[in-house]
Amino acid sequence: MSYYVLIVVMVLGITAVWVFQTVPQGENYVIERFGKFSRVIRPGVNLMIPYADQIRAKVLMKDQPIEIPTQDVITNDNVVIKTNAIAFIRVMDPEKAIYEIENYAEAISSLIQTALRGVIGDMKLDDALSSREVIKNHVIQKITPEVSEWGIRAKTVEIKDINPSESMQQSMEQQAAAERRRRATIAEALGDRTAAILNADGKKEAMIREAQANLEASRSNADAARILSKATEESLEKVNQAVRDARLSAFFLLGENYIRAMRDLANSPNAKIVVLPPDLLNSVKSFFPKE
The pLDDT of residue 69: 94
Biggest distance spanned by C-alpha atoms of the chain = 193
Residue 162: closest CA among 187, 138, 126, 129: 129
Going from the C-alpha of 287 to that of each of 142, 234, 252, 277, the distances in angstroms are 121, 20, 7, 15
The pLDDT of residue 16: 63
Question: Residue 56: phi, psi to the nearest 5?
Answer: -80, -40
**Cα separation of 113 and 85, whole Å?**
9
What dihedral do alpha carbons 203, 204, 207, 208 form, nearest 10°? Answer: -150
* Under 8 Å between Cβ of 40 and 30: yes
Q: For residue 58, what is the DSSP state? A: E
Q: Domain coordinates of the chain in residue numbers?
A: 2-60, 64-170, 211-285
**Cα separation of 60 and 151, whole Å?**
13
The pLDDT of residue 17: 63
CATH architecture of 64-170: 2-Layer Sandwich (3.30)
The pLDDT of residue 268: 62
The pLDDT of residue 187: 77
Query: Quick check: helix, strand or coil at residue 130?
Result: coil
The pLDDT of residue 256: 64
The pLDDT of residue 257: 65
CA–chain centroid gap for 169, Å, is 19
The pLDDT of residue 178: 73
pLDDT lower than 70: segments of the chain = 1-5, 8-9, 11-18, 167-174, 176-177, 217-218, 220-225, 228-229, 231-291
The pLDDT of residue 204: 73
Long-range contacts of 8-17 (CB under 8 A, 24+ apart): 15/50
Task: Tell me the pLDDT tens digit for each residue of 263-279.
Answer: 666 666 665 565 556 55
